[in-house]
Chains A and B, each alone.
Chain A
């Protein structure tokens, strides 16, 4: 305390107190100087010992041997070892049975029944407008000939979401009621939320093999953290005044939890449900790589043969599903605490009863008139026309358009002029230089703790022996993040200034933010073909909405008194932006960078499916070839890269993720 006061006094004292005072005034400079001192000692030592700029072979641990053995052992013992027979086997069977059960139930309801149920649930929670959207969306899924895959995905989702919610609630309860559990749980959950979905696939496959059980469990692992996190935060955030009042009336622990703490956390619980559903959908689609089936599988198959039309036909239902699910659960969260509206006869249980009655009636009528399966004759095949359009694009837009060039030209230029130099530069940098840069960035933005984690994660990549591949991935991430930030900040400044632009952007951002990562690959493949540039483009499009939204909110959220003050002093709008808005919105800007990096990484990794190579491809390759050792090493490197990128950009105070 006393030293801190002394420091500020020195800092504000008369100038010319020497270099030490100057350093105290600028802690970032001091940190970098300290790092340089460490480097001056450590780098020559490292150089003398290992030599060269390439990650030293002596520090590499080859895991492919042992991992391969583990894999072989698991495959050999899957049908005989008690661990599998009595534990994983039962889990696997239970998952298969329940997914099958839900799937059959959905088919039994028939297309009319399912559509009616979706529309009526939307009506009860969000009103007739969304009911219309929901009904039309499901009909469109059928029209596109995707009824069965949609039901497959939905069945997998239902099971995964149920398990995720139960698991998340239990973990959240434990974390919300016990400080010790919370301290352990929180960093784990926070970290799990920044890791790319792909990293979760391989460990699951290792144990459960390719198929529905693995897909469901990967989805659960990916989707449960937000539920657990928000449940714990909600329970902990209960108004202490209310809790005290409840205790003063002599409530037992159970009564306190059930009648006060849980109801007080309803908003967070529903937000958790919303996020869990959205993450589950995102993962259920990606998990097609490990045999999830359904819509994701159709997209995956179509993309691997660059059949954009078929991919789009399966991609549209995914987007519709995402929008309907998101809006319905979000509306449920918004309605909390609001007065019941509408005619009294339709409120509460009576309204739901009526909805159930209508749904049952529609299902029965549907069964007797149309049958269960979507009628073949009414399918609108869009794959053909879309592919024709795409071929026309390939012929006319890919290259040789006067003045502006073509999309394929752009992609080639981006690859040649940006991605390649960046990759070569990163791969050419000595390993210790990369570690130093990582440390410097992480330490100036965050704390020494985040810096240490980032450096260790980066070093682990070297130890795993995938340094060059990771640098390739990193170069794509850096390039995509740079583009995202330039575009995102530009759009956000515009949106923060003009209400009209913001109003125009809002619905677009809403839809874009709800779409699963996988879907973004479809249009970029259509436009740019395959390769690293399209993957980077998909990453930009995926990360852009979050960056724009956070930045706009940050700029808009600047204290109006400060803005008014600047205006009263005669500042121009440019001065206001530079001198007031941007400095005051700094936390939001840093958060936007952090989110941008995390989201870009997720898609760059998935880009392995459309030819972006590097770590993502290693995972896909490992899965496709059954060479899990390669895939697992790449997966571990992805985890390390994700950890490093998150920590490097992590501001000291971390905000809640995906605030909307």
Chain B
């Protein structure tokens, strides 16, 4: 993650308003109205309200929110499957909203591929031809695209099922096909729209692992839409939490859980096992004399639950937080319990600005 590179997606003041004469809403006094009043006065619904964010290269950017919060509309705006009402939107620095049909098609073909909640597979094609579909659209020859597709079928773990039809596959397998189809075009960014919501919990877990694995292996940039908080925390490098079309908080999982921006977010993350999300870097305190010599050493990114395990195993009072041999701080029983209980100023003092 080099700091200097241009963001993959750069979104500024993006609006999507559905309804009659939608373009008058952004920027007017109507923009300030709550959703119900806006609908009553204009017949319009603001699905995305004044949203700004950057997606950095190589990260998994999760957009999370309940249904109706505008997250699915937002991700569709990124490739203009839904035309945004106003705002600016750039991919790798290039203005997406200024693209003509041809250029936009190129964007969809080569730079951003999407995985859908309901898979969107073509029922009359085999698995192999579904995976090859994106390449076919690009005009690749039959042998070439099939070879490439076979490779990806293998990669997502569907080897041997190439000649099946989508209707003969389980939900998880169908989504693997969807994933392979998106990967086949080798896009610079992958967009996921609630890809695992329609799956059983066990399969969902398995598919999440698959995404984690893919991300680790290829380091591909991903934008991931979900309504499932645990999924967001599991996958996200950063999370944008949406409500009523706007972003309520944007930060790392640790920031979202550790220092919720408002009551809505706090309510949202209330049941999250905090010790599994927060790191010792958040929980630590400055060492007092003598504490810097003994005790187990931890990375700053280690979670609190790992620290609890380390401390209780060592039997000592503290664990040291070390970064490249440099002592950053220590965590003792009190620090760690504060995190678990969600109390104490240890966290409040270190609140991260959004």
A contact residues vs B (CB 8 Å cutoff) = 239, 241-252, 255, 259-260, 263-264, 266, 336-337, 339
Contacts and interface: CB of A to CB of B under 8 A. Distances in A.
B137 interface: yes
B166 to A, nearest CB: 10
A244 to B, nearest CB: 6
Contacts of A251: 137
B136 interface: yes
B323 interface: no
Contacts of A248: 79, 81, 108, 113-114, 116, 120, 191
A252 to B, nearest CB: 7
Interface in B84-130: 104-110, 113-114, 116-124
Interface string B118-158: 11111110000000011011100000000000000000000
Given A250-B137, A255-B137, A241 B106 contact: no
B109 A260 contact: no
Contacts of A255: 137
| A-B CB proximity, top 8 nearest | A245-B120, A250-B108, A250-B109, A248-B114, A241-B118, A249-B134, A250-B105, A241-B120
A270 to B, nearest CB: 13
B116 A245 contact: yes
Interface of A is mostly: helix
10 contacts: A241-B120, A244-B116, A248-B81, A248-B114, A249-B134, A250-B106, A250-B107, A252-B105, A259-B133, A337-B167
A249 B113 contact: yes
Interface in B149-195: 165, 167-168, 178, 181, 185, 191
Contacts of A242: 120-123
Contacts, number: 73
Contacts of B107: 250
A248 B81 CA distance: 7
Given A245-B121, A250-B105, A259-B122, 19 more contacts: A241-B118, A241-B119, A242-B121, A242-B122, A244-B116, A244-B120, A246-B133, A247-B108, A248-B79, A249-B185, A250-B110, A250-B137, A251-B137, A255-B137, A259-B136, A263-B122, A263-B124, A337-B123, A337-B124
B108 A244 contact: no
Contacts of A239: 120
Given A266-B124, A339-B165, A249 B108 contact: yes
Contacts of B134: 249-250
- What's the interface size class on B, roughly? 20 to 34
B116 A241 contact: yes
Contacts of B120: 239, 241-246, 248
B124 to A, nearest CB: 5
Nearest to B107: A250
Contacts of B122: 242, 246, 259-260, 263-264
A242 B119 CA distance: 8
Nearest to A248: B114
Contacts of A247: 81, 108
A336 B118 CA distance: 22
A246 B138 CA distance: 12
A244 B193 CA distance: 12
Contact of B81 (A244, A259, A336, A337): A244
A582 B136 CA distance: 53
Contacts of A245: 114, 116, 119-121, 178
A265 B110 CA distance: 28
B9 to A, nearest CB: 15
A462 B342 CA distance: 85
B126 to A, nearest CB: 10
A561 to B, nearest CB: 25
A247 B83 CA distance: 13
Contact of A264 (B104, B108, B123): B123
A659 B23 CA distance: 45
B310 to A, nearest CB: 46
Nearest to A252: B105
Contacts of A250: 104-110, 134, 137-138
Contacts of B114: 245, 248
A263 to B, nearest CB: 5
B168 to A, nearest CB: 8
A250 B185 CA distance: 11
A260 B120 CA distance: 11
A239 B116 CA distance: 13
B111 to A, nearest CB: 9
A253 B111 CA distance: 20
